[in-house]
Amino acid sequence: MGKIKKKYTEGASRTYITRNRAIKRLQVSLADFRRLCILKGIYPVEPRSRKKANRGSTKPTTFYYSKDIQQLLNEPLIAKFREHKVFLRKLQHALGKDDLTRAKTLESNRPQYNLDHLVIERYPTFADALRDLDDALCMVFLFSTMPVVRRVNKDSIEECKRLAAEFMHYVIQSHSLRKVFLSIKGIYYQADIHGQSITWIVPYQFSQKLPRDVDFKVMATFLQFYRTLLGFVNYRLFTSSNFAYPPKIDQALEDNAAGLGSLKIESSRLEDLINSAKIIESGDESAAQASEISLDMKKQLNTLDKKIQSIVSTANGSSTAAPEYGSIDANEGDDAESDEETQIENLLFGKQVFFLSREVPRYSLEFVIRAFGGRVGWDRSSGGGSPYTENDNAITIQIADRPTQGHQFLDRKYVQPQWVYDCINARRMLSINDYLVGQALPPHLSPFVEYAEGDYVPKAAANLAAAAGFEGEVTNLDPEDRDKSESENEDAEDVEGESADEGTDSDVSEDEDTKAEKQYQQQLLAERSGMSFAEYQQQKQEDSKAKKSSANQKNKNTRKRTKAEIEEEERQKIAISMLSKKKRKIVNRTQAEAQKRAKDANALKARSSQITTANKSGKKAR
């Protein structure tokens, strides 16, 4: 006789666990369980059979993997949550008895915890952290522009502002920004960092009205983890690029709303050498221990004492020249600086100096222009710390969004803000004729859209691709040019056919007389109806275009298929019928999607042609 198996020891009932059973096993509250799942990255799952997973019950419930809940049993945060509950109970008891001394003592010993171990556990490599950085950046940038809410205190908002500014500074220094798109939701950015494409959205800096139906408690839990993650990532990015972290903040510029200009990015190597030289000069052993300098580093500093002193004197404004050392070139620093300047000049805006008027979004334009090597100045009403004033002769381009300017400088160009973003997406300097102040702007196309075969390609995208040197691909993608070429070929064939089969002179003269008589009758009818001659000519052109398009469409629809096309269609039908039911459904679904895509593309083409015709008729009427 075989061994009797117990119920619910294997299968779906063992693989999955309901939320209520998980809470009982962990002995935590529902709120703490949600916080643990968010911080640990554990999410609900959907089993194949809910009845088997729920031990025969069909009640609606939430399922988790049993292994994930088993891992939560060893999580040290559970003990920290319990300590915090005990602290709140004691604090409430002391306040209830008006024991302020004990309440202050308890508040000073409030239990604290960090999430560093969770970041290391969830992201074992730096590439994993960068791959999952999109949501963290979106959340941090969102709260950096929000007012203080009930569940998110002021310190968290200030930390979000600091982390967001640090990340933007790294993107500026590394010139890793690739795409920008202005949408109704906010501004989308995409940067290429260490081979990973990171996309995030930044809301517009308008006064916000916070919705009441949003659970800020859940968002605060996500924000708590994302702040820790972004802090780790910023530290690694800065140190790997040899920048001092955290960057220093100029408090005077910060108070004057200087924005990104208030953070000072310095090289960590120069800073370490200067601090080490000061420590050696002072001879303070405790300071040397506090700086945690290794013995090897001390030996190197002792051997290069003269060079360090020269670096310190140079940093303090001394004119003492650096001594020459064997294989070390005295002009090595100058060469590095010149190479860096040359590299910046080769960027998109490397040779341009911009000035931002007070009505343009400085928080975005300053970031994208500096990320592509440009230098920026702004109006005093937008904040302090501007390196350029409006009267500076070095300014080459001024970004303005007012239809009329009080005064204009002849040695600079005035463009609207969209020109900067379109230049970044096109990866080249576009002509400013379409972006002059007061003109109607061209469409702002999304750089994140990739056009497949058969999709509708806007005319502006086709023109940009053609200007970039992709004439062959554009002619294949642009349907309007293809239709024009086909219609021109058909007209040419018609003309050739008529010239080949032309009749006698008398027949031609009779046809011309009848056509002239008909045209005269139509003009009389139009005149009786009160229509002017210009309107009559316009209507005649529209009618001829409509007849041509309907004839072309009719010819396309009634075109006889060749024998090869009929055989290919029959072969495809036979091949599909021989597939299994599951694969046949996939093929049919794919074909239906292709037909729907083609239908949508044709609708967009028709709509575009209608708008073009309406615009032309409006211009003629004017």
CATH of the domain at 430: 3.40.50.10190
Residue numbers of the domain that contains 61:
14-75
Residues found in the chain: 622
Calculate the average pLDDT of the chain.
78
CA–CA–CA angle 456, 459, 463 (5° rounding) = 125
First and final CA of the chain: distance in angstroms?
A: 98
- The answer on pLDDT for 367 being more than 90 is yes
Q: Which of 435, 458, 473 is the last residue of a domain?
A: 435
- The answer on pLDDT for 155 being more than 80 is yes
Per-residue pLDDT band for 172 (boundaries 50, 70, 90) equals very high
Q: Is residue 588 part of a domain?
A: yes
Same domain, 207 and 285: no
pLDDT, position 564: 83
Closest listed residue to residue 138, CA positions, set 194, 193, 198: 198
Closest listed residue to residue 411, CA positions, set 472, 355, 470, 372: 355
pLDDT, position 353: 92
Same domain, 128 and 238: yes
Q: Which of 75, 94, 127 is the last residue of a domain?
A: 75
Spatial contact of 42 and 63, defined as CB atoms under 8 Å apart: no
Same domain, 228 and 368: no
The residue-averaged pLDDT of 474-498 equals: 41
* 457 alpha carbon, distance to own chain's centre: 22
SS3 string, 243-255, reads: ECCCCEECHHHHH
Contacts of 617 (CB under 8 A, 6+ apart): 538, 542
Same domain, 260 and 284: no
Rounded Cα distance, 191 and 424, in Å = 12
pLDDT, position 162: 92
Contacts of 255 (CB under 8 A, 6+ apart): none
Same domain, 205 and 249: yes
pLDDT, tens only, 297-339:
444 445 445 444 554 454 444 333 333 333 334 344 455 555 6
Among 213-227, 386-400, 419-433, 511-525, the range scoring the smallest mean pLDDT is 511-525
Same domain, 305 and 350: no
pLDDT, position 286: 43
pLDDT, position 604: 80
Tell me if residue 328 falls in helix, strand or coil: strand
Rounded Cα distance, 410 and 417, in Å = 19
Same domain, 260 and 272: no
* 394 alpha carbon, distance to own chain's centre: 32
Closest listed residue to residue 111, CA positions, set 153, 146, 154, 79: 79
Q: Is residue 598 part of a domain?
A: yes
Rounded Cα distance, 36 and 476, in Å = 53
- The answer on pLDDT for 597 being more than 90 is no
Instruction: Provide the token pair at 481.
Output: 């040019």
Rounded Cα distance, 613 and 126, in Å = 55
The residue-averaged pLDDT of 25-36 equals: 93
pLDDT, tens only, 210-228:
888 888 889 999 999 999 9
C-alpha pair distances (Å), 616 with each of 364, 435, 541, 542? 36, 21, 12, 11
Rounded Cα distance, 430 and 349, in Å = 12
Q: Is residue 321 part of a domain?
A: yes
pLDDT, position 404: 76
C-alpha pair distances (Å), 315 with each of 156, 216, 294, 321, 382? 36, 48, 25, 12, 32
Q: Which of 264, 294, 310 is the last residue of a domain?
A: 264
Per-residue pLDDT band for 25 (boundaries 50, 70, 90) equals very high
Same domain, 306 and 318: yes
- The answer on pLDDT for 423 being more than 60 is yes
User: How large a percentage of the chain has pLDDT more than 90?
Assistant: 34
Per-residue pLDDT band for 440 (boundaries 50, 70, 90) equals confident
Reduced to 3 DSSP states, what percent helix, strand and coil does the chain have, rounded to the nearest 5? 60, 10, 35
- The answer on pLDDT for 69 being more than 90 is yes
- The answer on pLDDT for 547 being more than 90 is no
Strands (E), 488-619: none
Q: Is residue 465 part of a domain?
A: no
pLDDT, tens only, 71-97:
999 899 999 999 999 999 999 999 998
pLDDT, position 70: 92
Tell me which DSSP letter residue 321 carries. Answer: P
Spatial contact of 193 and 236, defined as CB atoms under 8 Å apart: no
pLDDT, position 454: 66
Per-residue pLDDT band for 168 (boundaries 50, 70, 90) equals very high
Same domain, 31 and 63: yes
Q: Is residue 467 part of a domain?
A: no
Rounded Cα distance, 202 and 148, in Å = 18
pLDDT, position 334: 53
Same domain, 69 and 125: no
Q: Is residue 482 part of a domain?
A: no
Instruction: Provide the token pair at 615.
Output: 């615009």
Per-residue pLDDT band for 2 (boundaries 50, 70, 90) equals low
Q: Which of 261-265, 483-487, 551-555 has the highest mean pLDDT?
A: 261-265
pLDDT, tens only, 498-524:
433 444 444 444 456 666 667 777 776
Q: Is residue 8 part of a domain?
A: no
Same domain, 234 and 353: no
Same domain, 299 and 364: no
> Residue 415: left (phi > 0), alpha (psi -120 to 50), or beta?
beta
**Tally of domains in the chain:** 5
Q: Is residue 108 part of a domain?
A: no
